[in-house]
A and B are shown apart, each in its own frame.
Chain A
Amino acid sequence: MRRDPRVILMGEDVAGGMGAPGEQDAWGGPLGVTKGLMPEFGRERVLDTPISESAFIGAAVGAAATGLRPVADLMFIDFMGVCFDQILNQAAKLRYMFGGKATVPVVIRTMFGAGFRAASQHSQGLYPLFAHIPGLKVVIPSSPYEAKGLMTQAIRDDDPVIFCEHKAMYDDQEEVPDEPYAIPFGEANLTREGDDVTIVAIGRMVKFANEVADKLEKQGISCAVIDPRTISPLDDRTIIESVEETGRCVVVDEASPRCGMAADIAALVAQNAFEALKAPVKMVTPPHTPVPFSPALEDVYIPGPAQIEAAVRAVTERV
């Protein structure tokens, strides 16, 4: 935002307090992620919106098509339903339908994921629906370092980007450079090398996969862990090359299993690395249910290290 005056931010309570008598910048987003931006950039560049996603997500698309570089906040990915047309039929398609004569450099950032006991309408991981749509790019950072680099790239990218932030990871900490840096899209991160099995993990699952890899290494099972970073474009080359070395693949994703990313990646591996496979590709996902409220049930819903470890053992103990 400092670098380019065309970058603006809009969304519900991204500052907060608009029109109200008390504190301005009252929220900075529901979890405070954008606090401090309005005091620095003013209300002309940090815009609170009424609760009308169809209008303001569509406005972000229209603004992007006419010369701004907006970042629009779709507060919860679960709300995609109320503005899906603007993303599916407008943002994703203007360039193609207009014969290449439109550019839509919009970033839609949105919170996803379970673990907050927020129940079924505030906990989903619906990003596969976006990855399914030609014309969109879909980014899922797995750590603070990744988040900064990928968001920088998203804002600089000339295509519509859906930037998915796991709501349970905002308090994660690691060393992050002060200076700007951009992580390219379509380049998976091999977070650790390994010989026995390739684990592909998405978002919060990357952390869990690495925990499992740490544990199993001591037991003589060596896991490669790949973070795709972007599910569209998807760096399937890195995944396939790894599976060609290890011969085994486990895909871990928090999104619902039917038509999800785990199934998508599994199919790509099965099609392109069949000869190398020593075992079927194993998918680790939640069950085909909405996200339950009760903490005891939600904790069963979310794939965790135990399920990942079981999947790795299943493919490595196969003769």
Chain B
Amino acid sequence: MELNREQLLAAYHQMRTIREFEERVHREFTAGAIPGFVHLYAGEEACAVGVCMNLSDKDYIASTHRGHGHCIAKGCDVKAMMKEIFGRQGGLCAGKGGSMHIADMSKGMMGANGIVGGGPPLICGAALTAKTLKTGAVAVAFVGDGGFNQGTTLESMNLASVWKLPAIFVLEDNGYAESTASSWSISGEPVKRAAGFGIPGEQVDGHDFFAVYEAARRAILRTRAGEGPSFLHLKVNRYFGHFEGDATTYRAPGEVEKLRAERDCLLIFRKRVEQSGLLKPQQLDAIDQEVVALIDAAVAEAKAAPQPPAAELLTDVYASY
């Protein structure tokens, strides 16, 4: 692991941005300011950032319904994201998609997806494009422990192997698919399931940015070199419910508090870089403050942004009709 100071600061900045973004969206949603559904990524930041720091704009990712973290980690504009979640003009998708369909093709972010398992086939396609046009790009499909059982995911793993596509399947196993435990709903072991398709993979602690970054680096290098698809099983936890409004009674009492105290990826990162002298606490504190200001500004701008004009209901259904 040879991450330099700049990269470490960038990693922390991105993870902190995701954390503050999600915590703020949680508060705004609770206050009734945000329409529709949101599914928050807080707790899982090391996964998105650890993987996406190994990618560039020319690489593709597809996310799940829990897409804000991947969107930020892939370099999408935070203020445009916030406007999108509020459904306003200037949103990343002009207010037409919302939280569940947040996307930016120019950053290779092929969207959050309202359909569980919707991403993996799209990623096979992006990988096919990369292979056919010889761009050297890779395509990463993030799936949850729920999506890991969806037929589309399994078919995509087979197809990617058979076609030897530069596709990477990343299972973010946060322990719950909606309200049921992944330990119950996934038959067999994920790494063995991938191996059943001939796809090599490893299980990683998803709270440890460095472990995720390194495993992702190995997987992406191998796949980019043309050796076929790779798999990562990231074991992690989410702090909030499946959706905002989820009473989460299926969780044990004190479960989340314990995770925040003992398994928080930002605290783990800070401890590691401070103890090893790689970064100083003041540098990280400065980032904390900067990010809070950024998110404050994003929310203020989103709330002040106009609604999309009614005429835009009818636009962009087709390129031409």
Contacts and interface: CB of A to CB of B under 8 A. Distances in A.
Interface residues of B, number: 48
A70 B126 CA distance: 12
Contacts of B96: 96-100
B121 A233 contact: no
Nearest to A55: B155
Interface in B242-275: none
A12 to B, nearest CB: 12
Interface in B128-144: 128-130, 132-133, 139
A99 B92 contact: yes
A192 interface: no
A54 B60 contact: no
A189 to B, nearest CB: 19
Contacts of A158: 319-320
B95 to A, nearest CB: 7
A62 B103 contact: no
A130 to B, nearest CB: 14
A68 B139 CA distance: 15
Interface stretch (A44-52, A269-277, A299-307): A44-52
A9 to B, nearest CB: 12
A52 B155 contact: yes
A63 interface: yes
Nearest to A160: B318
Interface stretch (A82-90, A166-174, A194-202, A247-255): A82-90
Given A62-B128, A67-B133, A99 B121 contact: no
A68 B105 CA distance: 14
Interface string B148-167: 00011001101100110000
B6 interface: no
A62 B162 CA distance: 17
A65 interface: yes
Contacts of A100: 94, 96, 315-316
A66 B319 contact: no
Contacts of A102: 103, 105
B202 interface: no
B308 to A, nearest CB: 9
Interface stretch (B35-43, B47-55, B106-114, B217-225): B106-114
A205 B128 CA distance: 39
Contacts of A93: 101
A158 B317 CA distance: 12
Interface residues of A, number: 47
Contacts of B85: none
Contacts of A95: 316-319
B115 A59 contact: no
A64 interface: yes
Interface string B60-73: 10100000000000
Contact of B101 (A6, A86, A98): A98
Contacts of A262: none
B121 A101 contact: no
Nearest to A102: B105
A286 B259 CA distance: 62
Contacts, number: 160
Contact of A134 (B105, B115, B317): B317
A226 B292 CA distance: 64
B318 A101 contact: no
Interface in A1-58: 6, 8, 44-45, 47, 49-50, 52, 54-58
Given A65-B126, A100-B94, A159 B159 contact: no
B125 A89 contact: no
Nearest to B116: A85
A94 B319 contact: no
B229 to A, nearest CB: 12
A58 B316 contact: no
B105 A101 contact: yes
Contacts of B194: none
A187 to B, nearest CB: 12
A98 B152 contact: no
B124 A62 contact: yes
Interface in B263-321: 315-321
Nearest to B318: A159
B214 interface: no
B82 interface: no
**Can you list the 10 inter-chain pairs with the closest CB atoms, starting with the nearest?**
A58-B121, A62-B125, A99-B94, A62-B122, A100-B316, A55-B155, A63-B125, A158-B319, A99-B93, A52-B155
Interface of B: 60, 62, 91-97, 101, 103-106, 110-111, 113-115, 118, 120-126, 128-130, 132-133, 139, 151-152, 155-156, 158-159, 162-163, 315-321
Interface of A: 6, 8, 44-45, 47, 49-50, 52, 54-68, 70, 85-86, 89-90, 93-103, 134-135, 137, 157-159, 186, 233
Given A60-B125, A97-B101, 10 more contacts: A8-B132, A50-B158, A63-B125, A68-B132, A85-B152, A89-B118, A97-B111, A99-B316, A101-B104, A137-B318
21 contacts: A50-B159, A55-B155, A56-B124, A57-B121, A58-B156, A62-B121, A63-B128, A66-B105, A66-B125, A68-B128, A85-B115, A86-B118, A86-B152, A90-B113, A94-B111, A95-B319, A98-B93, A98-B104, A99-B91, A158-B319, A186-B321
